[in-house]
């Protein structure tokens, strides 16, 4: 059964969907062809936007691993910068620290590796892992609220471009359930099948309007 299909999708909670989609994501992540397709679409999107600094994530089980692609992107231009999130305290906004393939790492909160260096970065594009997503760009995550808090407290006037990274098998056709007032939609969600652009994204980057 397609994990996106349910008898009564809106009656299912975020917890229900999370349990359902974590398995679907793990299966998709084991498929080399899907990962190659996702990487190609991500590369095309980033080439159009041309950010100077990308914040990404250390992959957990079932998440697309962007590290090799980020390393190649950094190697293409010495002025580029990449950063990984660090958690100073649980349930606080993320702080992004500069990362290269040679950066020493340490174990952070929740057991997730983070750069040992304290060198900070303010990315202009964020790659955000998704458990699930919908057509409006709303994301289903693990429920910790870290990215919402981080964007709400973002320094400066301009928010980064937010790019959800997911597999098409994790799309929720009837919408992420239980949306809350503090939930922020992503600008775009990149999957192995498409770059799902939101209206907010196309308003900012009209040249990307036809990308699929």
Write the DSSP string, 131-192.
Answer: SEE-TT--EE--S--HHHHHHHT-SSSPPPEEEEE--GGGB-TT--SS--TT----SEEE-S
Beta-carbon count within 10 A of 9 CB: 15
pLDDT at 5: 42
Residue spans of the chain under pLDDT 70:
1-11, 181, 206-212
Task: Specify the pairing of strand 81-86 against strand 95-99.
Answer: antiparallel
Rounded Cα distance between 90 and 200, Å, is 30
pLDDT at 10: 52
pLDDT at 1: 41
The domain locations on the chain are 9-208
Q: Please state which CATH number belongs to domain 9-208.
A: 3.40.50.10420
pLDDT at 110: 86
Contacts of 134 (CB under 8 A, 6+ apart): 171, 172, 173, 174, 175, 176
E-only strand ranges, the chain? 53-55, 81-86, 95-99, 105-107, 113-115, 125-129, 132-133, 139-140, 161-165, 188-190, 195-197
pLDDT at 180: 77
Beta-carbon count within 10 A of 27 CB: 14
At CB < 8 A and 24+ separation, what contacts does 152-155 make? 152/93, 152/182, 152/184, 153/93, 155/122
């Amino acid at each position: 059964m397609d994990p996106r299909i349910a008898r009564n999708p809106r009656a299912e909670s975020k917890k229900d969907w999370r349990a359902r989609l974590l398995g679907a994501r793990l299966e998709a992540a084991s498929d080399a062809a899907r990962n190659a397709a996702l990487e190609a679409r991500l590369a095309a999107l980033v080439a159009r936007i041309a950010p100077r600094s990308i914040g990404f994530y250390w992959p957990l089980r079932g998440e697309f691993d962007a590290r090799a692609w980020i390393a190649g992107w950094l190697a293409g231009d010495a002025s580029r910068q990449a950063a990984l999130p660090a958690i100073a305290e649980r349930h606080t906004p993320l702080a992004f620290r500069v990362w290269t393939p040679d950066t020493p790492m340490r174990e952070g909160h929740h057991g997730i590796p983070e750069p040992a260096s304290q060198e900070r970065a303010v990315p202009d594009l964020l790659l955000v892992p998704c458990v699930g997503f919908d057509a409006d760009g709303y994301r289903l995550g693990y429920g910790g609220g870290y990215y919402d808090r981080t964007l709400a407290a973002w320094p400066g006037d301009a928010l980064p471009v937010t790019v959800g990274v997911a597999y098409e098998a994790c799309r929720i056709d009837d919408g992420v359930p239980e949306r809350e007032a503090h939930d922020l939609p992503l600008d775009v969600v990149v999957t192995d099948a498409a770059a799902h652009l939101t209206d907010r994204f196309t308003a900012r980057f009209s040249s990307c309007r036809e990308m699929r």
